[in-house]
Each structure stands twice: as structure tokens, then as C-alpha cells.
């Protein structure tokens, strides 16, 4: 069921929610260069919105291309075409995305869009591919895509593909968007990045474990992130602000919407910031079995 209580259809608006990394450790590096991670993903209510229109041919068109990103390279277009190839489907689609999540922000915007494309078109094209198969397709697009298809807040390991659902308490978050876009590859390629954090048992993780091994590298290379962390930590004290993913966005956890609104008001004028509730599950969870 969608948010309006009806069935998902071609007329629906499909959400692609943001995620936060509540902690992130780099525990090693594989021979192929991919980094081994541990992290907890938390979904937010803040989301891009996707709209789909069927086509009479097999073409996939993105009606809202991002500046500087050729449509054929967009993760959403690539996701739709991979789904066609995996299923033998010859249906086409026009895709329109209302963007609310920043590029290079560490909120999973492009990955979330791609996951919602896979979930929505698997439903709209009546392909009935199982969730695990969609996750496998998603992993070829990026390490963050599978968790959005998995559909639950999760403890992730490996390169992000080994997922274990976790129950998280209701919380609200204040998110600040620094005026920079962070290229994930550049952060992971940094020679000063720590790559030997000791792994922890997923069953032993608690919300008190909040470190992010990528934060120091991102702050050094993008001082605007460090500045936003200082401003948000001051506004949210005694809570400590932290960075999500490889940046650039930073966040602070609050107990309820009132506290989040108070922290938001304490921020200096001119910062791009917003509040969001943590979500218990992906809003498209019911679109795959």
C-alpha cells in the first residue's frame, strides 16, 4: 500500500528515502581494491520522489537529467536497463525524479533512486523477481543500493551487501548540507584513510558506537564539512554531530521533533538544514518478496 492507502500503480509517486550511517568502520581492503566496511544504515522520512510513465517501445528515458550527468550514466536509467536485461522484459518507461536529496551528500540519493526504480518497475512491469535477485542487480550499481532494496534498517558488512535487520528506537534528526559535493572515490583513495579498524560483532553494536572512519579525511579535504560539524555540535550539545557516509552531510540525533526543531533554530543563519524522523522501514518494502 502507498502512503494514501491505495495500491502502487503507474499514477503513484514512489519515494526514494535518504539514509544515514549511524557509524562506519573501514575494517580492511580486498585484493580488488574494494573496501570492507561495517555500518548501520538508518532510513529517513526525507526522500526524492519518482514518477513513471509506460512507453509503447522498449526505450528508457530520464525526463529530469541532472546537470553534468549524461542520462545514460544516471543510476536510475542504468537500473531500469539492467532490470530489462535480467528479466527479458521489452517494456519501456519514462522516469521523472523530483530531487530533494543532494548529490555527493552521503545520504544515498542516487543509490536510493536506483533502488526505487528496481522495486517500482519490478512491480509495474509485473516481473516478480525476488528481493534477493533485485539486491544482486543493485550491487552492480553501487554498494549502497542493496540496503534500500533490503528495505529495513540494517547492520551492513562486506562492501555493504551483507545485511542484518536491526530494530532502532524512534528518533528525529537534524541534517546539515555543507555547500560541497564529496566524491566518494576520492575519500576511499586517500592514503591517510584508516583501513584497519577492528570489526565488531553485529549483535554487540549499540547506538553509543558512533564513529565514522571517513570523517577525518573528508573534513581535512573539505573544510566546510568540519565547520558544519562544529556548528551542529554546538547547537545539539551534549549530543555530538557526525558525518554520514563519505560526506558531505552531517547530522545530530534528537529524541523527538520538538528537540530537533530547537536544535535547528540554534544553527547560524545561512546553513542549509532540515529535520526528519527516522523511518522504521523503507516505504516500498512491500513491493518485493
DSSP states of 15-56 as a string? Answer: EEEEEEEEEEEEEEE-TTSPEEEEEEEEEEEEEEEEEEEEES
What is the rounded distance in angstroms from the CA atom of residue 115 to the CA atom of residue 151?
10
pLDDT digit string (tens) for 9-35? 999 999 999 999 999 999 999 988 889
The string over 219-250, giving b where at least 16 C-beta atoms fall within 10 Å of a residue's C-beta and e elsewhere, is bebbeebbbbbebbbebbeebebbbbbbbbbb
Cα separation values, 70 from 61, 62, 105, 144, 247, Å: 11, 10, 20, 21, 23
Q: Is the pLDDT of residue 5 over 60?
A: no
The fraction of the chain above a pLDDT of 70, given in percent, is 98
Q: Is the pLDDT of residue 3 over 70?
A: no
Among residues 48, 74, 144, 213, the one annotated as catalytic is 144
Among residues 19, 48, 74, 113, the one annotated as catalytic is 19
pLDDT (mean) for 247-264: 98
- Answer yes or no: 201 catalytic: no
Q: Is the pLDDT of residue 264 over 60?
A: yes
63 CB contacts (<8 Å, ≥6 apart)? Answer: 94, 95, 96
pLDDT (mean) for 172-199: 96
Q: Is the pLDDT of residue 176 over 60?
A: yes
- Answer yes or no: 144 catalytic: yes
Nearest-5° angle of CA 95, CA 96, CA 97?
A: 120
Phi, psi of 243 (to 5 degrees): -95, 145
Long-range contacts of 188-195 (CB under 8 A, 24+ apart): 188/35, 188/214, 188/246, 190/217, 190/221, 192/216, 192/217, 192/220, 193/26, 193/217, 194/26, 195/26, 195/27, 195/28, 195/29, 195/35
pLDDT digit string (tens) for 195-253? 999 999 998 899 888 999 999 999 999 999 999 999 999 999 999 999 999 999 999 99
Judge whether 26 and 189 are in contact, CB under 8 Å.
no
Confidence of residue 42 (pLDDT cuts 50, 70, 90): very high
Confidence of residue 289 (pLDDT cuts 50, 70, 90): confident
pTM higher than 0.75, yes or no?
Answer: yes
In this prediction, residue 2 carries a pLDDT of: 74
In this prediction, residue 1 carries a pLDDT of: 63
* DSSP assignment of 151-176: -B-EEEEETTTEEEE------EEEEE
* Total residues found in the chain within this entry: 289
Amino acid at each position: 500500500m502507498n502512503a494514501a492507502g491505495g495500491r502502487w500503480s503507474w499514477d503513484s509517486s514512489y519515494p526514494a528515502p535518504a539514509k544515514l550511517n549511524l557509524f562506519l568502520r573501514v575494517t580492511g581492503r580486498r585484493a580488488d581494491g574494494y573496501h570492507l566496511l561495517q555500518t548501520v544504515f538508518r532510513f529517513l522520512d526525507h526522500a526524492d520522489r519518482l514518477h513513471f510513465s509506460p512507453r509503447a517501445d522498449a526505450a528508457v528515458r530520464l525526463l529530469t537529467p541532472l546537470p553534468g550527468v549524461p542520462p545514460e550514466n544516471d543510476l536510475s536509467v542504468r537500473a531500469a536497463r539492467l532490470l530489462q536485461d535480467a528479466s527479458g522484459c521489452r517494456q519501456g518507461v519514462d522516469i521523472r525524479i523530483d530531487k530533494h536529496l543532494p548529490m555527493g551528500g552521503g545520504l544515498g540519493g542516487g543509490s536510493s533512486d536506483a533502488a526505487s526504480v528496481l522495486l517500482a518497475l519490478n512491480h509495474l512491469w509485473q516481473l516478480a523477481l525476488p528481493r534477493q535477485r533485485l539486491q544482486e542487480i543493485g550491487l552492480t550499481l553501487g554498494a549502497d543500493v542493496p540496503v534500500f532494496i533490503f528495505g529495513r534498517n540494517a547492520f551492513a558488512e562486506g562492501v555493504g551487501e551483507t545485511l542484518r535487520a536491526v530494530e532502532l528506537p524512534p528518533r528525529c534528526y537534524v541534517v546539515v548540507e555543507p555547500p560541497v559535493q564529496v566524491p566518494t572515490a576520492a575519500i576511499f583513495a586517500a592514503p591517510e584513510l584508516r583501513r584497519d579498524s577492528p570489526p565488531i560483532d553485529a549483535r554487540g553494536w549499540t547506538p553509543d558506537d558512533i564513529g565514522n572512519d571517513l570523517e577525518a579525511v573528508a573534513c581535512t579535504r573539505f573544510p566546510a564539512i568540519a565547520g558544519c560539524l562544529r556548528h551542529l555540535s554546538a547547537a545539539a550539545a551534549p549530543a555530538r554531530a557526525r558525518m554520514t557516509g563519505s560526506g558531505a552531510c552531517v547530522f545530530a540525533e534528537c529524541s523527538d521533533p520538538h528537540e530537533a526543531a530547537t536544535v535547528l533554530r540554534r544553527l547560524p543563519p545561512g546553513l542549509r538544514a532540515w529535520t526528519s524522523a527516522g523511518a522504521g522501514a523503507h516505504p516500498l518494502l512491500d513491493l518485493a518478496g
